[in-house]
Amino acid sequence: MSADDLNLRSGASNRDGLIHPEVAKANDESERGQDGQRLTHAEGASRPISAAPKAAREPQPRGAKIRGDRPIDQAEAAERFLAAPLHQKAHDERLWDVRKKRDVATHGIPEWEELRELASAIKAHTLSRLDEYLEQFEAQAKANGVHVHWAADGAEHNRLVHRLLKDHGARSLIKSKSMLTEECGFRHYMAGTGIEVIETDLGERIQQLDDEEPSHVVMPAVHKTRLDVAEVFAKTMGTDPENDDAHYLAESQRMHTRPLILEADAGLTGCNFAVAETGTVVTCTNEGNADLSGNVPRLQIHSIGIEKLIPRTEHLGVFIRLLSRSALGSPITQYTSHFRKPRPGTEMHMVLVDNGRSERLGMEEFWTSLKCIRCGACMNTCPVYRRSGGLSYGATYSGPIGLIIDPTFNKRKYSTLPFSSTMNGSCTNVCPVKINIHEQIFAWRKVLAEEHQIPLLKQGMMKAAGQVLSRPAAYRAAIGAADSALRHLPRFAVYNPLNTWGKGREMPETPRQSFHAWYRQNRMGKGTGQ
């Protein structure tokens, strides 16, 4: 065994050894910042997150409790995540690291804002003529020898794909990462059919083996520590539970899954972009798993949300430049794969799925959420998401984008989510297609309040607050009384279950005098010269 092998197995980390010399050399033609220095991305820029010592390991906090259509208690799940400090800290650090890399990558492109504006305009144009582009895509795909299917909802998508697999006698299906299939509950549906579904994306495979949903649209297992992954692999693949070296774990999963991939009867991929002009499906991955799913089996299936359409191939370059920089801070994904026609001797099927998208397209305040390219940038910057974990939302789409997408599927079940936001607007600022996310979050709050989709206690509190805030005299009196009470009441009377602001933090020190009282005393009637 070589010294390099020993270092790999022992977990020794040689950062320089992870970067190919041609990539690391100083005189390359990579992007450079305004100071002329080469920009660093992805593996070359990531700061290693220090793992907790094994003696201090803590159980991984689980996600929100699902109780049918009852409202998701995101706050309760978030409290459990916050109560696991090792996981919370690692999650926050990982995502903020990605957010910083995103900023470095975007600052290296002088025309970044112009690209965002152009991408937003292309999406708006496409959505305004979606029926025309869908018909064009179908016609071109059929001309390429592809079988095209339409699914009105997730249930129809699952039945259709199942029928295709059954008709071809498939016993196993390899699947690349696809948020649409998660949205449709495809894997759970297939669990009772006798056909094995194998996730080929590393993060998705980890989540599948742990019987969990993905917690992030790009990094499905970002909420887990290496110790969590070591435990999952030990239980499901028989690996060493004490070895949490990332290279050992990744290689173990590869060796375990590769035979399943090579023997699979069918493959399914998602879709990042669908080009109407050519009938092409484009997938962007960093592991090549979409290529495996699309090229190894004889039966190839692509699940496509109808909002993924773009008009022409020339538009693709705009979105490719935006996607990976926004998602991971890298200039491009390792693989950008184009699927246009079946290989000789094989079949290709494309399933165009609506699942509520047409209805959302008719929502005046919320239709622009269909522009989303699933980069996850809004999640990486959101202080609530970073500190509460994606599984606390109890939905396929979490974080800021989830707050405006999820209620379109089920207002009652996801009625609490739009209130899980500080409304700081950072999500809107980083969105590569310029969706006004924080404004839509606020709009959903109004809709849910008007339709009485919020708890009665909160409705009563908001109504009372409205009465006070609409009357200046009553507001000033209430502020004075509250300040006085906070100064004199015993601690147990202030910090109780009714005061949610006092959970996990101290109330601010109350001023002796309000600004209004100070202004009346020091400014009114004294002119403006002071």
- Residue 503, pLDDT > 90, answer no
Rounded to 5 degrees, φ, ψ at 282 are -115, 130
Q: Provide the residue type at 361 as one letter.
A: L
pLDDT digits over 58-86, tens only?
A: 999 999 999 999 999 999 999 999 999 99
- Residue 42, pLDDT > 60, answer no
% of the chain at pLDDT higher than 70: 88
pLDDT digits over 139-175, tens only?
A: 999 999 999 999 999 999 999 999 999 999 999 999 9
| H or E segment to which residue 23 belongs | helix 21-24
DSSP assignment of 378-422 equals: HHHH-HHHHHH-GGGG-SSS-HHHHHHHHHHH-TTTTTTGGGS--
- What is the structure's pLDDT at 24? 47
% of the chain at pLDDT higher than 90: 73
Q: Closest Cα to residue 413, out of 74, 171, 105, 129?
A: 74
- Residue 490, pLDDT > 70, answer yes
Residue in the block written with tokens 């992007």: 31
Q: How confident is the model at residue 13 (pLDDT cuts 50, 70, 90)?
A: very low
Q: Closest Cα to residue 371, out of 309, 426, 423?
A: 309
Higher pLDDT, 13 or 311: 311
pLDDT digits over 406-465, tens only?
A: 999 999 999 999 999 999 999 999 999 999 999 999 999 999 988 888 777 777 777 888
pLDDT digits over 119-140, tens only?
A: 999 999 999 999 999 999 999 9
Q: How far apart are CA 186 and CA 194, in angstroms?
A: 14
Q: Where in the chain is the domain with CATH 3.40.50.10420?
A: 112-355
- CB atoms inside a 10 Å sphere around CB 502: 14
- Residue 14, pLDDT > 50, answer no
- CB atoms inside a 10 Å sphere around CB 520: 11
Class of domain 112-355: alpha beta
- Residue 525, pLDDT > 80, answer no
Strand extents, DSSP E, 113-166? 147-151
Burial 194-224 (b: 16+ CB within 10 A, else e): ebebbbbbbbbbbbbbbebbbbbbbbbbbbb
Helix (H, G, I), strand (E, B) or coil at 150: strand
Q: How confident is the model at residue 107 (pLDDT cuts 50, 70, 90)?
A: very high
- What is the structure's pLDDT at 527? 57
Q: Which two tokens stand for residue 383?
A: 């202080």
Residue in the block written with tokens 């191939």: 313
Q: Which whole number is the average pLDDT over 260-284? A: 97
Mean of per-residue pLDDT scores for the chain: 88
Q: Which whole number is the average pLDDT over 35-62? A: 62
- Residue 237, pLDDT > 60, answer yes
Which residue intervals of 108-129 are DSSP H helices? 112-128
Q: Which two tokens stand for residue 400?
A: 């800021």
Helix (H, G, I), strand (E, B) or coil at 434: coil
| CA 400-322-132 angle, 5° bins | 85
Strand extents, DSSP E, 230-355? 266-269, 273-275, 280-285, 299-305, 309-310, 335-339, 347-353
pTM of the shown model:
0.84
Rounded to 5 degrees, φ, ψ at 239 are -80, 175
